[in-house]
Structure formats: structure tokens, C-alpha cells
Amino acid sequence: MIDNTISDTSRIKDARFLTKLIKADEAAALISHGSTVGFSGFVGAGSPLYVPLAIANKAQNMHEQGKEYQINVFSGASTDVDLDGALAKAEAVAFRTPFNTDPNMRAAINSGATRYVDVHLSSLAWQVEAGYFGNMDFAVIEISGITENGELIPTTSVGNNQSWLNYADKIILELNIHQPKELDGFHDVYHQPLPPHREPIPIKTPRDRVGSPYMKVDFNKVVGVVLSSTEDRLNKFTPLDEISIAIGDNVVKFLENEVEAGRLPKGKLLPLQSGIGNVANAVLAGLTKAGYKGLECYSEVIQDGMLELIKHGTVDFASASALSLSPSAVEEFRKNVDFYKEHIVLRPQEISNSPEAIRRLGVIAMNGMLEADIYGNVNSTNVMGTNMMNGIGGSGDFARNGYLSLFLTPSMAKGGAISAIVPFVSHLDHTEHDSMVIVTEYGFADLRGLSPKERAKKMIAIAHPDFRDMLQDYFDRACEQPKAGHTPHLLDEALSWHSRFKKTGTMKKD
Amino acid sequence: MIDNTISDTSRIKDARFLTKLIKADEAAALISHGSTVGFSGFVGAGSPLYVPLAIANKAQNMHEQGKEYQINVFSGASTDVDLDGALAKAEAVAFRTPFNTDPNMRAAINSGATRYVDVHLSSLAWQVEAGYFGNMDFAVIEISGITENGELIPTTSVGNNQSWLNYADKIILELNIHQPKELDGFHDVYHQPLPPHREPIPIKTPRDRVGSPYMKVDFNKVVGVVLSSTEDRLNKFTPLDEISIAIGDNVVKFLENEVEAGRLPKGKLLPLQSGIGNVANAVLAGLTKAGYKGLECYSEVIQDGMLELIKHGTVDFASASALSLSPSAVEEFRKNVDFYKEHIVLRPQEISNSPEAIRRLGVIAMNGMLEADIYGNVNSTNVMGTNMMNGIGGSGDFARNGYLSLFLTPSMAKGGAISAIVPFVSHLDHTEHDSMVIVTEYGFADLRGLSPKERAKKMIAIAHPDFRDMLQDYFDRACEQPKAGHTPHLLDEALSWHSRFKKTGTMKKD
């Protein structure tokens, strides 16, 4: 996988950096057991790949020799199979934050082999810089070039890169010559200092550029530049299924109701944030179908589908932290790079996910979830309350601060064994104070302005029909208790659906 | 209680308003069954009193005649016994939001007689203006004067007043001539429009004034000006007890560790937010004892103790939404009003609690709670998961966005029957992603950078000794299960402590 013969240094315009060229295994050799490393990478985009693979190899060799070797891994968000996957398989990760989608890393987290901390994506950078996670020994950052002034051109994500560059003691740059050099100019790197020195973030629309296209680096901290050539390894998305399309249509129906009622500006809506995957893609497809034009996005990730929407005019501008494209979409992107530069900006995740910016812009937040309870509390992270799926990601940043906050989910999982609407969530990431609208393929539950008991009625109506009677029965009996209170629950039964699933493989009763 | 003989109109400098003078019962007569009313008032400060009492009387009369009469009540935060209390006793409230501390209103909420929606204090104003709660028929706002230009001088709180004045169809002003006229100049009314028209809030330090000292009103919407003379009816605070002092000392110890470690600026810390009541007062007392000088507060409420701290120099400046003073503190305030004007500003709660401002300033957030679980999830609102106490208030605004986010509680309640640290919270308002430090009289649990299993160890260590073995036993058995996962729980036992309390009156086992 690692090609040690790459020698094209034409993207290094500051000659000082030529003196720092090393191979990936030499970089890995610098990183000793117990090191804390901040990697670039956000939803599989812009991760270094050679250095992590070399670290994984080193770990394997050392373990074979009976020696300890593990590092602490910080990233932007999820990386990919050659970073999280390779390091997890090599049992090389003692600690991981803030978000992961790799199945091997997930297994290590759930077995306890890797300690994991689940942090809002907007918050990790400043919390690290504030010293809450201790020292950072290395930053390992993928770049697509170095300018004459010694500034760094990011690749397909900005993530926490500038913060890692600022905070880490030593820096390893992975210059990936496969990344389009046309990426130059797509980024807007605005970095906030710690309080009490912060200023207002001057973003007033998703398209505002408020920083520099380049990242700053202290050359004296650079201990290596590794040349690489590799594409982002992104998961392919399956075609839209009926359920996703139905959810997307319900979202569009909800938004049209809002426009109709005068609660959203006609035509342009407000800036959209949508998560990744099938359901998110279905929402965007639904908006296209409904004839929307000129929409703006203030979101985390731009995927293949977004390029199509931009080309089609459905979306006029998209702000995000990562450009997560498949190889064929990269081709399209390269061919029409000047066009896309007018319509896309990539920001640090502290800015793409900034509570300040999200609330000011009035973002319409749409995120997936694992389950919600009858009162609208949402679990986004822990399956059956105990097993980590991916992490909270940016869903909290957007849901708490959005002008509208929607959570979308198919009503069932595991072929009908699991209901997405339950009496009591087994883990809680988004409280009743933050979830405004829950959407399944059966409709939307608009919870705004409703007391808990009113919410339950709406939630039960969008559950899968197989589970509605069970939910209604739980709710009715909870309400019938003496002193049932404001938020009625049967404490002895609240988690019984999850317990039953663990014992019998289904939430359904015999 | 209502004095209909008040005739001093000297504070009305715009003569147009003299034509609108009416009595409280005439105001109440305008407000028909089913009306939605936005009242001023924040933590008992600045509530109108005559008009609510007149509404309560009207409701009682109508109910005696067998007629329906209920209204929907919106406020800033908690009001007082003559607003929430009187209206609840008269069974006059169909709907209430966003926060309440009155025991009669609490009973109505928990019995289901009054529908209640629990909203972040920073969010209610814009959500109402966005139309999420339907139309607002009346704003009933206490003022201390009307300027020559027809602008309104607030009294002891700003709360949501400007939003209610903007959004309501009709306006009733209650001019309280007992409120110090020296309040003129203490306020900074900055109002945000709805997206997409929002601008950065230009606050860079707690002392920045960015708006107007006065509230704007459309004279054409004013249907009445009621003259009143009454003081705020505030709960007295009991003297500090040993447990509160111990909690306060633990907070100070934690903060000194942070300064020592270089994670907080020496001497001045960062702006403080603290809740109300005994524990919050104990923290401020602890900071005084530790010799701090020149501190800044960016908080919700200024209470008696804060005036002392300002006089003493411990606090140099305090920004809040309400000045909640006892009659004797009002005397002190009047005597030294010019001095206090240099050290205090009162803002709309959308600004005092603004996520944007809180994150920018780096506020140290300190809030009370009902219970936390072994992983650091916090319940601030629902006793035993079902019965509403007061509401989330501003705790979510500050905890999510604070530079440090502390939750403070005595380790036990009800004479030892209830542990504040439990296996699984029975309701969740602040997630593990937001709670950084939990403090009891037994110490502080610094959860930053820790995985759930590491957190449990810290949490058990600050529980009351009577409950530590039980917590450890739960945690150990949860971890010993096959596939225990990232956040181990025994689903069949997770809520058993609360269930036991409901059945036996104590969380302790026989």
C-alpha cells in the first residue's frame, strides 16, 4: 500500500520543507509508545494514510516482539479503513476521540481495549487547546501542497487541522500528490483563540469567507514531510430504498407546511444541515423533486449527491468541513473545479459546527438517530444503552442551535426486531429540550410547543404499526398510576424493551 | 393587595400614554378565556403583580359562575407568588412555559391541570417570535417609567420583555412606582431579529453595552397602563449550611487546581455563571475567602450576596438578566446606586444566556442538579423521572457552551433516602458530552477526557459513603456481563433505585 518511490516535490514551493523529506516508516519511528497524535481526517476525507499504516506496521512488529506499543488517536471525525481500521487491527490505539465509523475500531471501543471519549465535533479542538486532554505529541496532517510562504494547503477536509498544528509539539506532514491540486482556494481557515481573547465569528451567510485559504505552521516544529499518493477510501452509498424515500418526502412535506404557515421564508428556506447516508441523501433528493432552487447548506460534509444538486441548481452554495467524494465524483470535481469553487467552501469543524454560526444563520438541522422515546428524547450513540455505534458527531451542535431541529429514522431496525420509538431511551444524547421534529416513514411528529403527554401521542403515531399498541399500552398505564406526574413512566418497565431484545433477540412480546 | 388609588403619573414622560391609564381589573377584563399572555418576570424579579392578581380574581369569579376561564402563561423565568401562585390557585392557567418555582403551579403541572413545556431560557423568545407557540394575544410588562420618546424603562429584570412587546398583539404596561427610578440606565436591551437577518452579537466582555437602555414599544398596540406600587416578592435564602460550604470549598479547590495547571488565567479566572440558592452562594463565599478580587460574572441573576461581593471588590462586574434583591438589599442598592451602575448590567435573557456569548467569553458555568449517574449524565428537572421540579432554566445554555461546566449537589437528599449519584438517571437534561465536573461535599469528579468506565470510578468516589458500595456493586456487575460494551448497564436494574424509593421511601436496600 505504501509507495516509497514517490519523488514528485513540485508542490513544495518553500524549499525549507525539502530538507524534511522522510519516508512513512521513518515518521512512524519517531512516534513512540504512549504518544498522543492528532490526525487530520473528517468522514473519511483528508486523512493521512501512509503514516498511519506505517504506525500500524510498527505496532504489529513490536507486539510480535512482545513489546508494548499503543498511541492515543485524535482526529477531526471518522477517518477510514487505513487509519482507524489499520490501527485498530494492529491493537495500536489506547485512546480514541471524537468519532469513529470503522468496525474494527468500534469493536476495540466496545471491548474496552480502546478507551473512547465522545465529544461534540465543535468542541474537541478548543478543549484540546485548553489542555483538557493533556499534551499532544504529534500532529499528522495530510496536505495537498506547501506555498512559497510556508503555508499549508489542506486536502479534502479542514477538520481540526489548524488546532492540531498549533497545539502539537511536533508535526509530520503527509503531502498527498494524488489529491487534486485544484483544491487550492476551496478552504477558509479561521481559527479562534482561547477565551478571553475570542472575537465574534464574522460569518453572516454560509458563503462568507472570513479566514485564510491556507493553514499556518511553525516550521521549527516540522519533523518530517512524507510524500504519498492515495485516494480517500470512502464507503459507497447504496441506492435510495423505499423507506428512505418516504422519510425524505415526509421531511419535505414538513418543510412545505412551515413555508405555508409563514414560519420559513418562501423559496429559499434557511441554510440546511444534513447528516450523511441514505436518509440524508433522500431528503436532498426530495427537495430537488419538489422543485427547490438556490438553497444554501451550512453543514459538515459534502458528498457526491451534493455536487449533482449544485450542478442542477437545487443548491447554490454549500459550506462544510469535508468534501467526501467517490473516485468518479472526484473526476467530475476536477473537470469543473472553477465552477465548484464558486459554490463550495471548506471550514474548520469548530466553525462548520459553531453554535454561534448555526444559531445566527438559522440552520435547519437534520440528523439521524438510533432511537427516540415517546417524549422525544433521542439516543444517537449507544445501541441498547451500552454499545457505542459511531459517536455523537456534530448532531448536538446542530440540534441544539438549529432554527429547526429534525431527527430522522426508519421506524424499525433488524428486520422488525427493534422499534426506533421506545418507552424510554436506553441512552440519551439529545434531550426533549432540543428535538423539535421526529420523522419516520410513517410521518412527522412535530413536538414544538407540546407538553410531554401531548408529545407521546404524536410519537406513537409515527412508530411502526407493529409497536404502536405496545407503546400506547405503556403510556396509558404510566398515566394511570397515582402521582403519574409531568412525564409519566413505569420505572420497572421503562427499559424492558431493550432488556427483552438482549434476552430474546426482539423487542416484541411472545 | 391591589391599590386602586395610586395616581402618581410623574414617571410617564410621554403624554400619549396618560390616555391609556386603566385599573388592574379593567386590564383583566380585556383578557378573555384562552388568551396567550407574555408576562415580564425573571426569578421573581420584575413581574407585574396587579394585573395577574386581577386575572386570578376574574378567573375565580367566572369559575364560581360555572364559566370557563384559563389563559396560557409565558414569562422570562420563574415569577412569584402573586403571579404563578395566584393564577395557579385560581386554576387559571391552561399552559405554562418556560420555568416555574411556585409550589402551586408545580402541583398544577404535575397533576396535568396545566400543560407545561420546558424550554432553554435562551431559546423561548426567538421560538415564540418564529411562531412555534402560535399567536400571543397580550404582553403584560412591568416598567419603572416611560421616556419622553415613548420608550420603556424596565424594572428589575429584562427577560423576554422586548420580544413579548414585539410579538404580542396588544400590550398592557404595569408601571410600578415602588421600583427604584434609579434603575434607569442599568439595562442594555439588544434584540436579535430572526434569521436570515441576524448579526454577530458584539459582546466581547461581560461589561460591554451593545443595545439601548430602553425597550421599544408600538404605542398603537398599548391597550392599557396600570399604575401599581409593590415590591418584588422574593424567597429569602437560608444561611449557609455545612454541606453547602463544603461544596463551595470543593469548587474553589477545583478552580485553583485549574489555575495551577495553567488551564485558567491566574487571578481573574474567566467570567462566572452561578445558579441561585445556597450552594451557589457558598461558591461565591468560597471565592471571597480564597482572596479573589476583580472577578467578572456573566450570569442570569444578581442576588443580595452579589452586591456584597461587588462592594468588597471580589466581583468587579456582573452581567445578568435580573436583579433579584430582598427589601433590605434594595435599600443598599438605592443608597449606592451610582456605584452599582458602574458594576452591573441587565440584559435580555436571549443575550444573558446566549450560546454565542457564553462560548466566546469562556464562561465558567456552575449549576445545581437533582441527580447524576455514574457516567456523568445529569437530571435537573424531573424528580424520580416523572415529577417536574422547576424546569431546565438556563442550565443547558451555560453547561453546553461553558469553558468549564460544573454541576453541584449535596450527595444526598430527603435525610439520606435519596442518593444524588445513581446508576442511571431517571430523566436526562445534560448529557455526558456536556458535564465536565460534578461536585459534592465529598469532592469533585473531573470527568474531562475520561471514558465512561473511568468516569464511573470518579463519580462513585464523590457519592455519599452510604451509597458507594451499592454503586460499585452495580458498576462491577454491569462490567462483568458478556458484551458489557462501552457504557455498561444492567438494564433490569438501571432504574431500580428510583423504583425502590417510590415503593419504600428510600433508595437504600433493606
Rounded CA gap, B155 and B45, in Å?
8
Asked if A384 and A430 touch (Cβ cutoff 8 Å), the reply is: no
pLDDT tens digit sequence for A418-466:
999 999 999 999 999 999 999 999 999 999 999 999 999 999 999 999 9
**Runs of H (alpha helix) within A364-495:** 395-401, 452-462, 465-480
Nearest residue on chain B to A426, alpha-carbon basis: B491
Q: Output the nine-digit C-alpha cell for B66.
A: 360555572
CA atoms within a 13 Å half-sphere pointing along the CA-CB vector of B100: 33
Backbone φ and ψ for B65, nearest 5 degrees, come out as -85, 5
B502, containing H or E segment: helix B496-504
pLDDT tens digit sequence for A368-389:
999 999 999 999 999 999 999 9
Question: Percent of chain A at pLDDT above 90?
Answer: 92
Distance in Å, alpha carbon of B55 to nearest chain A alpha carbon: 23
Q: What is the pLDDT along chain B (510 residues), one digit of tens a residue?
A: 899 999 999 999 999 999 999 999 999 999 999 999 999 999 989 999 999 999 999 999 999 999 999 999 999 999 988 899 999 999 999 999 999 999 999 999 999 999 999 999 999 999 999 999 999 999 999 999 999 999 999 999 999 999 999 999 999 999 999 999 999 999 999 999 999 999 999 999 999 999 999 999 999 999 999 999 998 766 566 788 999 999 999 999 999 999 999 999 887 899 999 888 888 889 999 999 999 999 999 999 998 889 999 999 999 999 999 999 888 888 899 999 999 999 999 999 999 999 999 999 999 999 999 999 999 999 999 999 999 999 999 999 999 999 999 999 999 999 999 999 999 999 999 999 999 999 999 999 999 999 999 999 999 999 999 999 999 999 999 999 999 999 999 999 999 999 999 999 999 997
Rounded CA gap, B139 and B95, in Å?
15
State the pLDDT confidence band at A235, using cuts at 50, 70 and 90. Answer: low
Degrees (nearest 5) of the Cα angle A220, A44, A18? 25
Rounded CA gap, A387 and B489, in Å?
10
**Runs of H (alpha helix) within B446-495:** 452-461, 465-480
Asked if B48 and B142 touch (Cβ cutoff 8 Å), the reply is: yes
Rounded CA gap, B192 and A391, in Å?
33
Rounded CA gap, A59 and A70, in Å?
7
Asked if A361 and A271 touch (Cβ cutoff 8 Å), the reply is: yes
Q: Does the annotation flag A149 for ligand binding?
A: no
What ranges do the domains of chain B cover?
15-228, 242-504
A433 neighbourhood in chain B, CB within 8 Å: 118-120, 392, 396, 429
B360 neighbourhood in chain A, CB within 8 Å: 195, 198-200, 356
Asked if A99 and A75 touch (Cβ cutoff 8 Å), the reply is: yes
Rounded CA gap, A161 and A163, in Å?
5
**Contact yes or no for B495 and A491 at CB 8 A:** yes
CA atoms within a 13 Å half-sphere pointing along the CA-CB vector of A93: 31
Degrees (nearest 5) of the Cα angle A258, A251, A310? 95
List of residues 6+ apart from A112 with CB closer than 8 A: B453, B484, B486
**Contact yes or no for A204 and B199 at CB 8 A:** yes
Q: Output the nine-digit C-alpha cell for A193.
A: 483563540
End-to-end CA distance of chain A: 51
Rounded CA gap, A163 and A192, in Å?
9
Q: Quick one: average pLDDT of A218-232?
A: 94
List of residues 6+ apart from B358 with CB closer than 8 A: B273, B298, B365, B397, B398, B401, B402
E strand spans, B267-386: 272-274, 295-298, 301-303, 315-320, 322-324, 344-346, 364-368, 371-373, 378-379, 382-383
Out of A200, A430, A485, closest to residue B387 by CB: A485
Q: Does the annotation flag A390 for ligand binding?
A: yes
Asked if B292 and B252 touch (Cβ cutoff 8 Å), the reply is: no
List of residues 6+ apart from A111 with CB closer than 8 A: none
Question: Percent of chain B at pLDDT above 90?
Answer: 92
Is the per-residue pLDDT at A236 higher than 90? no
CATH architecture group of domain A15-228: 3-Layer(aba) Sandwich (3.40)
Q: Is B18 helix (H, G, I), strand (E, B) or coil?
A: helix
Nearest to B27 by CA among B201, B214, B197, B227: B227
Helices then strands (H, E): number in chain B? Answer: 17, 26
Nearest to B274 by CA among B366, B172, B394: B366
Rounded CA gap, B402 and B366, in Å?
9
Out of A428, A484, A499, closest to residue B491 by CB: A499
Query: A-B interface: how many C-beta pairs under 8 angstroms?
Result: 222
**Contact yes or no for B362 and A195 at CB 8 A:** yes
Distance in Å, alpha carbon of B401 to nearest chain A alpha carbon: 8
Nearest residue on chain B to A394, alpha-carbon basis: B433
HEC string of A274-306? ECCCHHHHHHHHHHHHCCCCCEEEECCEEEHHH
Q: Which amino acid is at B366?
A: M
B361 neighbourhood in chain A, CB within 8 Å: 195-196, 198
Regarding beta strands A418-419 and A412-413, do their DSSP bridges make them parallel or antiparallel, or are they unpaired? antiparallel
From the list B300, B350, B371, B441, the catalytic residue is: B300
**Contact yes or no for B451 and A361 at CB 8 A:** no
Q: Is B300 a catalytic residue?
A: yes
So what's the pLDDT on residue A305?
A: 86
Query: Are both A15-228 and A242-504 of the same fold?
Result: yes
Out of B133, B355, B428, closest to residue A377 by CB: B428
**Contact yes or no for B498 and A492 at CB 8 A:** no
Rounded CA gap, B495 and A495, in Å?
8
| Helix then strand then coil, % of chain A, to nearest 5 | 35, 20, 45
Rounded CA gap, A72 and A115, in Å?
9
Q: Output the nine-digit C-alpha cell for B507.
A: 433508595
Superfamily of the domain at B242-504: Acetyl-CoA hydrolase/transferase C-terminal domain (3.40.1080.20)
- The mean pLDDT of chain A is 96
What Rg, from alpha-carbon coordinates, does chain B have? 23
Rounded CA gap, A121 and A110, in Å?
21
Choose the mutation target among B397, B426, B491 for the interface with A, i.e. most A CBs under 10 Å.
B491
Which residues of A are designated catalytic? Answer: 300
Q: Does the annotation flag A252 for ligand binding?
A: no
Choose the mutation target among B133, B386, B429, B497 for the interface with A, i.e. most A CBs under 10 Å.
B386
pLDDT tens digit sequence for A78-118:
998 889 999 999 999 999 999 999 999 999 999 999 999 99
Q: Output the nine-digit C-alpha cell for A404.
A: 429547526
So what's the pLDDT on residue B237?
A: 61
- Length of chain A (residues): 510
Asked if B394 and B381 touch (Cβ cutoff 8 Å), the reply is: no
**What residue has cell string 490505539?**
A93
Q: Output the nine-digit C-alpha cell for A259.
A: 413555508
Asked if A209 and A341 touch (Cβ cutoff 8 Å), the reply is: no
Task: Tell me, yes or no, if the pTM score tops 0.90.
Answer: yes
Count CB-CB contacts under 10 A for residue B184: 17
Q: Is A402 helix (H, G, I), strand (E, B) or coil?
A: coil
Asked if B137 and B171 touch (Cβ cutoff 8 Å), the reply is: no
Out of A361, A382, A496, closest to residue B196 by CB: A361
B222, containing H or E segment: strand B222-228
- B278-289 helix and B242-260 helix, angle to the nearest 10 degrees: 50
Sign of the C-alpha dihedral computed for residues B400, B405, B408 and B412 taken in this order? positive
Rounded CA gap, A292 and A286, in Å?
9
So what's the pLDDT on residue A160?
A: 98
**What residue has cell string 426486531?**
A417
Choose the mutation target among B433, B454, B480, B497 for the interface with A, i.e. most A CBs under 10 Å.
B433
B187 has which bridge partners? B346
pLDDT tens digit sequence for A306-342:
999 999 999 999 999 999 988 888 889 999 999 999 9
Asked if A475 and A460 touch (Cβ cutoff 8 Å), the reply is: yes
Out of A355, A385, A430, closest to residue B489 by CB: A385
So what's the pLDDT on residue B10?
A: 98
